[in-house]
Chain A
Amino acid sequence: MNVMTQSCATPLAIAIRPLFPTLESTEKVQPLCYLDTAATSQKPLSVIERMQDYYLNENSNVHRGAYQLSAQATQKYEQVREQVKNFIYAQQSQQIIFTHGTTEAINMVAWGIEPQITQGDIILVDTASHHANIVPWQQLAKRTGAEVKAIGLTTDSRFDLESYRQLLTLNPKVVAVPHITNALGTVNPVETIVELAKQVNAITLIDGAQAVAHMPLNVSELDCDFYVFSGHKMYGPTGVGILYGKTSQLEALQPLMTGGEMIKTVSFEETTFGALPNRLEAGTPPIAEVIGLGKAIEFIQNNLTAEHQAEEQALLQYLQAQLKQLNGIELYGAHESNIAVVAFNLLGEHHQDIGILLDQQNIAIRCGHHCAMPLMQHLNLKGCCRVSLGIYSTKADIDQFITALKAVQELFAE
């Protein structure tokens, strides 16, 4: 198949772009070619306007005021909890805990299960994890004398089920893996991972930070114990994230944060904690962000149709094919089934040089270790370049990027 003529139209992305002010900004001479959605997505106007409206007209604290405004804010805030519940197919809204992001959510679990962890316990973590899914477990291991073990990767950089099966014979207490890896975009077989973990009664945590903006989720079907993600990678605001958990698992967590909101009674002799979800939401939550997140979910539900997912998938394959045509390029773990991400290097060139020279041409990609140093070590790399797509990414973006990358190659070749 000749990839140059491979059809890859992106009418749905083109139609959606006007909803994203940063992509349409007329202040810049050259349009921004934003290919770093895996770091953070752009935000649609509906999210921005909703948050502005909250601050302009509705601002008040939740769960406290005896007055209407606060009652309304509380109601809107709690409505989003319901919305998230429906969005990921949780059973009860108390299973949805608002956090400040994926990182905080994983820390809440890694801290919260400490009473259940004893010396010598095993915690399994995917080698291709983001540091957010490595460091909190290492810290837990340090505090308890448990041991973190890395689940291996296959030679083509996929999750190695064989390595996993072998490690499961050690009866791990916890299995924590990304749904989609942030550096490569590989999709982990989370259904199988969870099913096998349950056979040895391990607690499962799935880091869905890179999944939630690209595919429908069903945590009840997946049957994992915890599922976590960030608002800012799903067309929502920064500063808000979700910890989903099975009720019994959430109830067993010791709260990482204590203080206001999360208590039932406080005296200097004794404090009793409140019920879920407040028990795990100490202090004033990010109210505007939660309300903004509600709009982001609405946006995804209205726009991430099966057709649009297929368009995004075809665009990724187009991107992979275009890159593969270049000389002196190396792609990492680039499979057809990957989601939204391609990692590559130009042989003999430093990823940072590539990033700077693409930036000169208004192309935004990420170059570095992608908060996945163990994966980089596994691939024997100092770092690499990562292109990532969003719902607004078009064929024109890819063509602009490839042209720019060729210009970089020409400059290097001189």
Chain B
Amino acid sequence: MRLPDNSQFQYQAPDFDELVTLFSNTRSWQEKYRHLMLLGKQIPTLAKEYRVEAAQVDGCESAAWLYHQQINGKHYFIADSDTRIVKGLIAILMAYFHGKNTDELPEQAIEMVFHNIGLSQQLSPSRTNGLQHITQQMQHKFVKLT
């Protein structure tokens, strides 16, 4: 499987602390999902040639693709989805995981992050959005390191 260039991996993910603050101030579902969909637009999209089956994450009713690269001990990811909401959820994962090594991960478990911003239902295994699988695959990269 051909990976995107290293340079494409080294983008700036949304800032984790800012993201947590942003969601803690949302009042309505509209606001929450508006933020989510806007966040999705802040991370890179995958060109068509990289939207291939080998990169596809299982368990998604919508298609999602994930690439990983380790550069100087840090983990970089590019992921995309053909839905706005999964893309936004991926942006949250990027804020949490992208460009970090194991020591730099936020203290809060990722499940707690989703819980605190009121999106834990999207992470549930009973959902077909595949978020749980994407999360596991990203997490796995860090587990292997330690």
Contact = CB atoms under 8 A, between A and B. Distances in A.
Nearest to A369: B61
Interface residues of B, number: 16
B84 interface: yes
B29 A350 contact: no
A383 B61 contact: yes
22 contacts: A349-B84, A350-B62, A350-B83, A352-B61, A352-B62, A352-B83, A352-B85, A352-B86, A353-B85, A356-B33, A356-B129, A357-B85, A360-B29, A368-B128, A369-B61, A382-B63, A382-B82, A383-B61, A407-B30, A411-B30, A411-B34, A412-B84
A70 to B, nearest CB: 38
B29 A361 contact: yes
Contact of B83 (A353, A360, A361, A407): A353
Interface in A304-360: 349-350, 352-353, 356-357, 360
B61 A360 contact: no
A368 B85 contact: no
Interface in A355-374: 356-357, 360-361, 368-369
Interface of B: 29-30, 33-34, 37, 61-63, 82-86, 122, 128-129
A353 B63 CA distance: 13
A414 interface: yes
Contacts of A353: 83-85
Contact of B33 (A349, A360, A369): A360
Q: Which of A349, A356, A411, A414 is the most central at the interface, judged by chain B CB atoms within 10 Å of its CB?
A: A356
Contacts of A356: 33, 85, 122, 129
B45 to A, nearest CB: 14
Interface residues of A, number: 16
B84 to A, nearest CB: 5
Interface of A: 349-350, 352-353, 356-357, 360-361, 368-369, 382-383, 407, 411-412, 414
B87 to A, nearest CB: 9
A363 to B, nearest CB: 12
**Among B37, B61, B122, residue most surrounded by chain A Cβ atoms (within 10 Å):** B61
A408 to B, nearest CB: 9
* Top 8 closest pairs, chain A to chain B, by CB: A350-B83, A360-B29, A352-B62, A352-B83, A353-B83, A353-B84, A353-B85, A356-B85
Contacts of B33: 356-357, 360, 411
Nearest to A414: B34
B30 A352 contact: no
B82 A350 contact: yes
Contacts of A368: 61, 128
Given A353-B83, A361-B29, 15 more contacts: A349-B84, A350-B82, A352-B61, A352-B86, A352-B128, A356-B33, A357-B85, A369-B61, A382-B63, A382-B82, A383-B61, A407-B30, A411-B33, A411-B37, A414-B34
A356 to B, nearest CB: 5
Contacts of A369: 61
Contacts of B62: 350, 352, 382
B97 to A, nearest CB: 22
A357 B63 CA distance: 18
Nearest to B121: A359
Contacts of A412: 84
Contacts of B61: 352, 368-369, 383
A252 to B, nearest CB: 40
A352 B129 contact: yes
